[in-house]
Structure 1
């Protein structure tokens, strides 16, 4: 029996690291002597690399083991006061579950901002719910399941109380969207590096505005965990170097995205979901057809993501009649990979 080569179409979950990134990790792991001066230098180099990627200042940046840890470390410092947190219906599930715990502890209530199903996020829906009782706004820049792009800068520009922070999740955007936090009117910008930046797992970054630092009573680096892995930081720095040309990467991914959409248009077993941001191709699959399609893709060595809508985006109304198959190519994929995926789906 001939082994099937793996075709990896799941960058939205974890982008495959470049060999140079793995080599940087291995080199640091071999050479590390655990000296304090070495740790400080490596941390500062990685922080400068993060800051340069975001066109920001290094003191505004914190690195962490994941977005959840960084985000929680910031929001836990909100001054204790009742009020409302405006939350996007497409907010990532782990964020929602943590906000529910924060609500139970602090007395703040969660106010979900919904739009019309299948329509782009509506800025006016956020403006209509704004008042002096709002403590924070939480939203993604690009959503996980369908790749919807939120107009974050416009939402963050709505007049709001002076102590209301805008917390932006860029986990699905960092590395495929040009992000300049200083220009976005947001206060806390958090993203993982393991997806579109193709950095190692357990690497993430958070940017804080001057206003956020004043409200939280600390600078970004205060929120950075002490036990960051030096080898992973070396890998992060190398991944940022390789991902510096976001526009060229986005153009390459766009070509693969278009090929995938064109090939699947009209396929019998699936229906393409609303067009998301470049790189996220989501298909609606009848529940009865999922086992057949899942078996076919597995046999062909094609790795995709079957989304659990109730877990991934528990506040959104995705409906229960269909399963969601998400494919997300990256620059390591080829047109032949896309053709194989299209053929597998169309012939299942």
Structure 2
């Protein structure tokens, strides 16, 4: 076959065509489109949305949650889950506030917050990997345990008076409107992206999530990797506790209340299969941006917090149900 000028058409390799089709049809591409639509809708709905400082403040709606979301994504891909992350934040923040009463400075407070997070993650990991308990049951229990300890220590009181050097971790700006938290978020996104998508450790996580028995017989140290993932989730919860406490400037036992729902929603919205074995860090980043813009836009319109909670709950159910509905439609069962 020749063209009008007598030349033969250039053949496009099949692998490039199929790759292009996968990109167009990918969940991440859909999230980019949704993010653009939400950005335009917020711009139209509120004249204050495009203000650089308002956009900078909008990042606080997702950076701390997304930090935990990166580790949660790896854990869910492996077939496990941690619903105690908000309780870990409450306990870590309480430990930092308690240490503050004895004059502990910023480096010590950061170390305490992160250490408590790692310890809680280790506790969850031991119960799941050593005793063989279901992670969803274990972390529902520790969710109440960790926050309950914070309520016992604090009651209706609050810890205040954090030093200005500590406040910078949650309120400081690195350059113009670029916050310190946003920089940490971006660095962690790159690190977790490399770990999951470019290392043997990341490939083993996918293998475990798809078939843990086959992974075990293939020589993958399944329980060890899951233990590491619980430690990472605790570590990220500790880091998020430091940033959130520094941003709020106080510690209350109700801090980060119900964050576990939003974090799981963020991860699942990012394309991570709740059944394990599939997902990407890029998807989690895009989902974080989408949820951040939605909550910030609703905030600018003075929408009540309960409406946001309804939206988050509905979004989680919708995202989980959508793949199943598509499958049933394709089979002609609906």
| Pairwise same-fold verdict (TM > 0.5) | no
Decide which structure has the larger Cα Rg and report it. Answer: 2
TM normalised by structure 1 equals: 0.27
TM normalised by structure 2 equals: 0.28
Q: Which is strand-richer, 1 or 2?
A: 1
Q: Which is helix-richer, 1 or 2?
A: 2
